[in-house]
Structure 1
Amino acid sequence: MLTTLDRIAGWIIEYSALGFLLLVVAAVITIAVFYYRDITQTQHAIRRNYPVIGRFRYFFEHLGEFFRQYFFAMDREELPFNRAQRSWVYRAAKNLDNTIAFGSTRPLNQSNEVLFMNCVFPTLSADAVPTHSVTVGEGYARQPYSSSAIFHISGMSYGAISKPAVRALSAGAKEAGIWLNTGEGGLSPYHLEGGCDIVFQIGTAKYGVRDSDGHLSDERLREIASHDQVRMFEIKLSQGAKPGKGGILPGGKVTEEVAKIRGIPIGQDSISPNRHPDIHDVDDLLETLARVREVTGKPVGFKAVIGEIDWLDDLLTAVHRRGLAYAPDFITIDSADGGTGAAPQSLMDYVGLPLRRSLPLVVDKLDEYNLRGRIRVIASGKMINPAEAAWALCVGADFVVSARGFMFALGCIQALQCNKNTCPTGVTTHDPELQRGLVPKDKAKRVAHYAHNLMHEVGVIAHSCGVKEARALQRRHVYLIDERGVPEPLTDRYPQKTPRPEYLIASSEDRESA
């Protein structure tokens, strides 16, 4: 016969089992709801590709705010972009508040760090003016190009990045009023569909503008230039992550469509020559620039990472010898710490000059040869935050371009999978299951927000320095920390050059003859 105690114990067990069952059912229902919400939402690629599990990313990020003091990796210690840099981009892309609290985590006495010199009477918002427009190729290209935007999308090939990524960049660039560089992989329909301005890049393999033998084709150039959206052409001599090495697209990314656009075999590694086989010296380069400009009618420049510098004197001397009509309409200077989808570590880590050195060097050379008004300067390489862009404008850049900054705006989490076709956010993969996480319509808005917010904050820096718009920033507005930790005026480290007397006359004569 059961005692009261036994009956109570039985009820406890029975209700405990029932309670456990209800908890399991509730957990299953909750997980099912989260799963459905995650796979149907379009704003977060990680949650869309990894439903339920992806939610832990945000939980751990939140916990990191409270526990980061116990772990090694702090805000400024992650590479190649630290948490503070990435977080700014994420917030800007989502159009969220980008203020911070308690104090800067930036080392303000570290060698080569930048400090902007604020004015005691900063520019009032009511006195600020829109950024003035800069024209490329005026007087030399039949269809010169003008833009008031200071920040644009650098070269990322379709193939290296995915179809939805290109579509989002194209639509976002149109909304932001900035250009999109195709990268060396050719012009795809997805570059055009958003309606943005496009810079067509000609790589060493000449994808998209090559004939059956791989040579530069005037017919293909005219075909590309017939698109009104294609506003400029850029001949890529080298890029910062792999100077002296051509583009590398692993075979896993060479789909049928990519192969057709590039004119290469499906599924095989696409490795470009390490330089243009038909460009042997500066005269060949100037001839090629003039040829492309004449055939297309549009501004033409070149992109290079700066290393050995004597060739710059040879190039600019040759421009004066031949006449200003042969000059590049712009030079894109890439930094040795620029990015790429795949490159040998020996080149990525040890070859080329960083932009902090190469940009003032090139601008000074153009001043020395009295060509600063003829040749526009575009700065590229690891500039994803407002301070880097503002610094480049101070030094003398006309425009700033970024690739990885816009990858972060698309949702990149720096998983370092760009060379493997396994990108978890769908940015650099052709796996349809991973691509579905990147919804172009939503990410395009983030691209536009990022560009707008960065340019706005460059303007904030400019107003703090007492000028009315971003392009009015000059070297006198910047100090660099020297090796002793002491602020040093940028004008002391890099005093701007005055033109050589012989080129003052030559430039005037060349301009009249042109």
Structure 2
Amino acid sequence: METAFDIVEVLGLVFVLLFAGLVALALVLFVIDRSQTEDAIRRNYPVIGRFRHIFSELGEFFRQYFFAMDREELPFNRAQREWVGRAGEGKSNTIAFGSTRNLSVPGTPIFVNDPFPPLDDQYAKSEPLLIGPTARTPYLAPSFFNISGMSYGALSKPAIQALSHGAAQAGVWLNTGEGGVSPFHYEGGCDLVFQIGTAKFGVRDEHGGLDDAKLAEVASHEAIRMFEIKMAQGAKPGKGGILPGEKVTEEIAAIRGLKVGQDGISPNRHREIDSFDHLIDMITHVREITGKPVGIKTVVGAESTMREFFETITRRGPDCAPDFITIDGGEGGTGAAPMPLMDLVGMPVREALPLVANLREEFGLQDRVRLIASGKLVNPGDVAWALAAGADFITSARGFMFALGCIQALKCNKNTCPTGITTHDPRFQKGLVVDRKAPRVANYAKSIVKEVEVLSHSVGVSEPRKLRRRHVRLVQENGRSVPMNEVFPRPDAV
């Protein structure tokens, strides 16, 4: 009995001490909050005012897991993320009891099923497509769905390794992003697109200009199949890339030509390109040095600007044209960016892609210049829409991040990504096991291709690139759907 009483006394003493400690802490916080002058809420409501900040921080978590419906979240909702998750795991994506998608939202694409579709043994099959017919080493791209630009630095070492191996398994290309090419990009043996950003990381001289010798050395690698001159990206049109200094490790600093801990800030444009003539000069120069297809990545701001570009190509001749144009939507991307640029600048890809496709046809360049669409195109319907709108290829960054295990924690611009994808903290990186994630990358890419082929078969075409705007209807403000070729008529009225 004495032992029991002793335990009760100890527990009572512990409780008293804890209570006294909490009271003392509350008094200290009360004095701090009342005396500080930065936060009006804490000054007027000492101690309890702190809960507002706590709940604000936790609100994002609770909304994602407990309160938001499957189709409510932004930038990607749970239904979109879970489709990628199941595809990455190689699981069936069949569902029951009807669609949960709100089909009355303006802009929603609805595909037109053929009343007499081809029989099952006449299924739609995607085919390789040539890029850069005038280059010394053209590229026969195997897949219409590929991995968009994500730099080593913005992404972690295991993330790049998993993407490289997964891309090789699926037969898709991997864009290096503007941070230069690392050994981890080569590791899986996939096809690579080397992106030349405004800072020219990986091919720059000591003054930040283009170093032809370094460019030729990069091009000598067989894995490098194309070069993409980045003019702008959807997350921050008009502003260069931003790699926070806490992510610049010794290895990344060596690849990019920075100091450890130094912010990687790219200029807002290429210093030597201030007109479309200069842009074509750069395209021609890079193609001559490398012998490989060269294109550009940009965000559309206005129809008149893109028309001027195509007029310049026509004046200079089709041999000077870019081998491809990547259209990134202004919806924002994975990179760190100021909110006004991410939210407010640049056309969405849903408007920009049909516009550029029309101009390409108007100037008769559809067989010379390939169109690549990028920007929140992560599910089969998104990809099929882009092909119908006029794209030859689609690239995705965030879709493949979901395949790697991204939970949309929105920590990409910090060094605290909990899944190890966008961090260089070894504690978080150990959660990303390359051998387990690479097959998920491959499965996701293969699932997209397969499902787009299923959609193509349903509308009655034999190859996904034969999808046309007449095969898609777009929901309007009044709830009715209209054929996309009426909303965005093509020059040849196809």
Q: TM-score range by the shorter chain?
A: 0.7 to 0.9
In 1, Cα distance between equivalents of 2:154 and 2:79: 26
* 2:192 is the alignment partner of 1:220: no
Q: Deviations over 1:72-109 (max 9, x none)?
A: 41011111100000000000000011111211111111
Consecutive unaligned residues in structure 1, runs of 5 or more: 1-9, 14-63, 500-514
- 2:270 aligns to what SS in structure 1? coil
Q: Match for residue 343 of structure 1?
A: 337
- 2:194 aligns to what SS in structure 1? strand
Q: Deviations over 1:139-172 (max 9, x none)?
A: x100000123110000000000000000000000
How many angstroms does 1:341 deviate by?
2.6
In 2, Cα distance between equivalents of 1:284 and 1:177: 34
Q: Match for residue 330 of structure 1?
A: 324
How many angstroms does 1:309 deviate by?
2.8
How many angstroms does 1:206 deviate by?
0.5
In 1, Cα distance between equivalents of 2:459 and 2:203: 45
Q: Match for residue 22 of structure 2?
A: none
In 1, Cα distance between equivalents of 2:139 and 2:119: 31
Q: In structure 2, which of residues 414, 419, 427 is the aligned counterpart of residue 420 of structure 1?
A: 414
Q: Match for residue 128 of structure 2?
A: 133
How many angstroms does 1:124 deviate by?
2.2
In 2, Cα distance between equivalents of 1:153 and 1:215: 27
Q: In structure 2, which of residues 402, 408, 426 is the aligned counterpart of residue 432 of structure 1?
A: 426
How many angstroms does 1:389 deviate by?
0.2
Q: Deviations over 1:35-93 (max 9, x none)?
A: xxxxxxxxxxxxxxxxxxxxxxxxxxxxx9xxx9xx64101111110000000000000
Q: In structure 2, which of residues 357, 360, 363 is the aligned counterpart of residue 369 of structure 1?
A: 363
TM superposition score normalised by structure 2: 0.86
In 1, Cα distance between equivalents of 2:141 and 2:283: 21
CA RMSD between the two structures: 1.6
Q: Match for residue 48 of structure 1?
A: none
- 2:185 aligns to what SS in structure 1? helix
Runs of 4 or more above 2 Å deviation: none
The answer on whether the counterparts of 2:124 and 2:454 sit within 8 Å (CA) in structure 1 is: no
> Which amino acid counterpart does residue 309 of structure 2 have in structure 1?
L
Q: Match for residue 354 of structure 1?
A: 348
In 2, Cα distance between equivalents of 1:238 and 1:124: 44
Q: Match for residue 89 of structure 1?
A: 84
* 2:277 is the alignment partner of 1:287: no
* 2:109 is the alignment partner of 1:114: yes
In 2, Cα distance between equivalents of 1:433 and 1:346: 33
The answer on whether the counterparts of 2:132 and 2:323 sit within 8 Å (CA) in structure 1 is: yes
The answer on whether the counterparts of 2:373 and 2:395 sit within 8 Å (CA) in structure 1 is: yes
Q: Match for residue 389 of structure 1?
A: 383
- 2:206 aligns to what SS in structure 1? coil
Q: Match for residue 495 of structure 1?
A: 489
* 2:432 is the alignment partner of 1:473: no
The answer on whether the counterparts of 2:124 and 2:457 sit within 8 Å (CA) in structure 1 is: no
Q: Deviations over 1:155-213 (max 9, x none)?
A: 00000000000000000000000000000000000000100000000000000010111
In 2, Cα distance between equivalents of 1:302 and 1:273: 17
The answer on whether the counterparts of 1:282 and 1:311 sit within 8 Å (CA) in structure 2 is: no
How many angstroms does 1:335 deviate by?
0.6
* 2:96 is the alignment partner of 1:105: no
Consecutive unaligned residues in structure 2, runs of 5 or more: 5-61
Q: Deviations over 1:289-321 (max 9, x none)?
A: 000000000000000011133222221111121
- 2:327 aligns to what SS in structure 1? strand
Paired residues, what number?
433
* 2:440 is the alignment partner of 1:442: no
- 1:448 aligns to what SS in structure 2? helix
The answer on whether the counterparts of 1:293 and 1:299 sit within 8 Å (CA) in structure 2 is: yes
* 2:458 is the alignment partner of 1:457: no
In 1, Cα distance between equivalents of 2:113 and 2:124: 18
In 2, Cα distance between equivalents of 1:129 and 1:89: 22
In 2, Cα distance between equivalents of 1:129 and 1:335: 28
Q: Match for residue 185 of structure 1?
A: 179
The answer on whether the counterparts of 2:324 and 2:371 sit within 8 Å (CA) in structure 1 is: yes
In 2, Cα distance between equivalents of 1:96 and 1:111: 31
How many angstroms does 1:331 deviate by?
0.1
The answer on whether the counterparts of 1:338 and 1:380 sit within 8 Å (CA) in structure 2 is: no
Q: Match for residue 486 of structure 1?
A: 480
TM superposition score normalised by structure 1: 0.83
- Counting aligned pairs with the same residue, the percent is 59
How many angstroms does 1:129 deviate by?
4.8
How many angstroms does 1:277 deviate by?
0.9
In 2, Cα distance between equivalents of 1:293 and 1:471: 27
The answer on whether the counterparts of 2:124 and 2:464 sit within 8 Å (CA) in structure 1 is: no
In 1, Cα distance between equivalents of 2:207 and 2:105: 52
The answer on whether the counterparts of 1:174 and 1:196 sit within 8 Å (CA) in structure 2 is: yes
In 1, Cα distance between equivalents of 2:321 and 2:308: 12
Q: Match for residue 246 of structure 2?
A: 252
- 1:414 aligns to what SS in structure 2? coil
In 2, Cα distance between equivalents of 1:150 and 1:164: 25
Which runs of structure 2 are paired with 1:293-304 in the superposition (5 Å)? 293-304=287-298
- 2:195 aligns to what SS in structure 1? strand
